[in-house]
Structure 1
């Protein structure tokens, strides 16, 4: 199959939760688009694949951690669609469930240590990798940047085509987790001011999400801290919320992104930010494979 013949479609599903207080919530279920190439990752990758094809590249090289949803989707796509993939990983060699999948999918792995990974934003970082893999197209961490954002614009149209099935004539805003800010920026571009986009920051300020978003869009969004003390920081309240949500409405969440984002929405509603009758679309950005890094 040619990857350009595959455009997955995410269902938009209403959810009922006891803390909504009259706010209407629908979830765009990107976690359901595919068992392996899940979440928002494919939409961010699609533009990079187009650039790679135009450049005559035979595959993609990118970066991530030992539980990276981005690398997991990239490697799975490479295996399915027949293009080479290389992953540059943070830290030192370890066989996490995600890493074992990357190897099984045929991704070539290089471990950079922690200092080497921190250098990914420095000038010249990519030069030795371009020399080593001249036939590969480099993708920023998480599929970020304008190219990745543009690929996410299709999500707005996917949601709008399903509003009638919910009995909605319109919606008031978007709510989603922000890990790199790429998907958020793509929604803002596609909305062109029609509806605001709220991003619940799953990472601390020093990860540069605000700068990334500002480099793509100037307005039409708001970022709120939902990191709960840092990237991958998990606490009993968050874990209890994730469990209660799944028990109440069947929506599976993970603690790095979607769990933090939905808990932040709950707190904002309880603080009176959104009036009863407000209609919000929450994007489930996938990442459920990363739950394997957390003990029950």
Structure 2
């Protein structure tokens, strides 16, 4: 495999919205780095790909759902860089737009059902798959774990290198959606206590984000519930917020992660959590391809 020396650059842009009420907000546009290998997914994959190279693997096997941003980016990377990929999918066979892309990118798919997918955390889950695909390197759901977090640490350096473009000498905190908590943990590791990181939970508490993050970092962050009742749960308030915000600032959002996180920030600012003059960096974690599974209007 490899070499993988592609390090995309994400622009840092100001966001001007009426509800900020004096809070200064900039967005690190990970959605802009590539049309297919988009968002935080490549950054989470880099550490795993390095481990796969070191292990002598020829490709990657990983997990996700029928609209998985992670599998979409992984399959696209496999096609671009010439390594085989296998996806283990939640549920039963269906041809969503994402799944059709996975097939077109050459990813081999196995559908696990729902019970089979829930078993992914069992200690013996990977055993049969390692036997079936001994040449492939297993990567956790969403590109999580220590390797994924370390790959995201570079985002702090990328943002700090662009502060002068905003006229900022410094900033006060980070704000982003948390789906597995991997990107958040990477920011915390890179910050080493210099700036706090706020994670807006896009999934319910039983999805294990708290456990994932606490296994990687001990402090320097806070998690807030932004799940709005469940993963992939949308409601009229959220959809209306996304529509109005996109028109106001021109930044495309999706309802599973970035939309939820930005709405949660609005609610926190309205509740007085951040004083005027506070400078926040919001990470746009990508995921726009997943919008094909949600009716936004």
* TM-score where L is the length of structure 2: 0.99
Q: Which residue of 2 aligns with 1:140?
A: 140
Q: Which residue of 2 aligns with 1:232?
A: 232
**Structure 1 unaligned spans of 5+:** none
Q: Which residue of 2 aligns with 1:156?
A: 156
- Determine helix, strand or coil for the equivalent of 1:4: coil
Q: C-alpha distance in 1, partners of 2:277/2:32?
A: 27
Check whether the contact 2:47–2:147 (CA below 8 A) recurs between aligned residues: yes
Per the alignment, do residues 264 and 3 of structure 1 end up closer, same or farther by CA in structure 2, a change over 3 Å counting? farther
Q: How far did residue 4 of structure 1 move?
A: 2.0
**2:244 is aligned with 1:244:** yes
Q: C-alpha distance in 1, partners of 2:140/2:118?
A: 13
Q: Which residue of 2 aligns with 1:290?
A: 290
Q: How far did residue 271 of structure 1 move?
A: 0.2
RMSD over aligned Cα, in angstroms? 0.9
Q: How far did residue 63 of structure 1 move?
A: 0.2
Check whether the contact 2:2–2:53 (CA below 8 A) recurs between aligned residues: no
Q: Which residue of 1 aligns with 2:34?
A: 34
Q: Which residue of 2 aligns with 1:213?
A: 213
Check whether the contact 2:15–2:27 (CA below 8 A) recurs between aligned residues: yes
**2:76 is aligned with 1:76:** yes
Q: C-alpha distance in 2, partners of 1:150/1:167?
A: 29
Per the alignment, do residues 3 and 19 of structure 1 end up closer, same or farther by CA in structure 2, a change over 3 Å counting? farther
Q: How far did residue 214 of structure 1 move?
A: 0.2
Q: C-alpha distance in 1, partners of 2:271/2:136?
A: 49
Q: C-alpha distance in 1, partners of 2:3/2:234?
A: 36
Query: What are the residue-to-residue correspondences of 1:91-170 with 2, within 5 Å?
Result: 91-170=91-170
Q: C-alpha distance in 1, partners of 2:62/2:99?
A: 14
Structure 1: 4+ residue segments shifted above 3 A: none
Q: C-alpha distance in 1, partners of 2:2/2:166?
A: 33
Q: C-alpha distance in 2, partners of 1:241/1:44?
A: 29
**Structure 2 unaligned spans of 5+:** none
Q: C-alpha distance in 2, partners of 1:165/1:18?
A: 22
Q: C-alpha distance in 2, partners of 1:195/1:60?
A: 34
Q: C-alpha distance in 2, partners of 1:198/1:5?
A: 30
Q: Which residue of 1 aligns with 2:270?
A: 270
Q: How far did residue 5 of structure 1 move?
A: 2.0
Q: C-alpha distance in 2, partners of 1:142/1:3?
A: 22
Q: Which residue of 2 aligns with 1:15?
A: 15
Q: How far did residue 123 of structure 1 move?
A: 1.4
- Determine helix, strand or coil for the equivalent of 1:61: strand
Count of aligned pairs between the two proteins: 296
* TM-score where L is the length of structure 1: 0.99
Alignment deviations for residues 147-198 of structure 1 (CA, whole Å, 9 cap, x no partner): 1000000000000000001000000000000000000000000000000000
Q: C-alpha distance in 2, partners of 1:237/1:3?
A: 45
Check whether the contact 2:31–2:39 (CA below 8 A) recurs between aligned residues: yes
